[in-house]
Amino acid sequence: MKHSLLKLLPFVLSAIFVSAQEPGTRVPSVTFAPTGAVQAKPGVTTNVQLDFRVGSDFHINSNKPKSELLIPTALKLTATAPVSVAALKYPAGEDVSFPFAPGEKLSVYSGDFSITAAVKVPARAPAGNYPIAGELHFQACDRSACYPPRSIPVKFIVSVNK
């Protein structure tokens, strides 16, 4: 009995929170999945996969939207010297048309997507932890409206071992 009630608790509470929200009050969420310390060797460039998730029912422009007016998703990272970010590789967007413009396709990310950062460690880099931090800039829409552009923080640590 006790266990049954406790098992039901999360569902009951979730239902209450959902019912407290009214249509149009949802704010698009884009989240960064924390990355554990990235192991790297001096003199080697390591590809780091950074995982993001766009909340359900929302999409954001890809890094290469089909119009220059649309705001591209862009990651800016600053590394701690002597480590550096040599390149960023964005996934291709998914071409999707939406009810508001059935004849037009937009290049978007939705659900889960990953950006790969090529982290370069010089041969003479001392062993240690080197934080890399920055932000993902994006602009989200749902199927009928758009939200202003915003940014979320992105941070991970590169652990250099000899």
Partner 1 sequence: MKRNGLVFIALCAAIILMVASGRFLSRAGRSRVTTLVGDVRGKAAPDFELTSLDGRRVKLSDYRGKAILLNFWATWCSPCKVEMPWLVDFQKKYGSDGLVVLGVAMDDTDAPKISEFAHEMGVNYPILLGTDKVSEDYGNVQFLPTSFYIDRDGKFVGKGVGVITRKEFEDNIQKALASRTAGNSPALDAAATSKPISPQPAAQ
Of the two residues 9 and 123, which places its CB atom closer to partner 1 in the complex?
Answer: 9
Interface segment toward partner 1; rule CB under 8 A; list 48-56, 68-76, 85-93, 152-160: 68-76
User: Is position 126 an interface residue for partner 1 (rule: CB under 8 A)?
Assistant: no
Q: Say how many residues touch partner 1, by CB under 8 A.
A: 36
Amino acid, res. 17:
F
Closest residue by Cα to residue 25 from 139, 145, 152, 150? 145
> Is the Cβ–Cβ distance between 129 and 79 less than 8 Å?
no
* 147 vs 17: CA distance, rounded Å: 22
Extract long-range pairs of 8-16: CB within 8 Å, 24+ residues apart: none
Interface segment toward partner 1; rule CB under 8 A; list 18-26, 46-54, 113-121, 122-130: 18-26
The residue from 12, 37, 92, 127 that contacts partner 1 (CB under 8 A) is 12
User: Is position 114 an interface residue for partner 1 (rule: CB under 8 A)?
Assistant: no
Contacting residues for 47 by C-beta, under 8 A, at least 6 apart: 116, 117, 118, 119
Of the two residues 70 and 133, which places its CB atom closer to partner 1 in the complex?
Answer: 70
Contacts with partner 1 by CB under 8 A lie at 1-2, 5-6, 8-9, 12-13, 16-17, 19-25, 27, 69-71, 98-101, 104, 106, 139, 141-142, 144-149
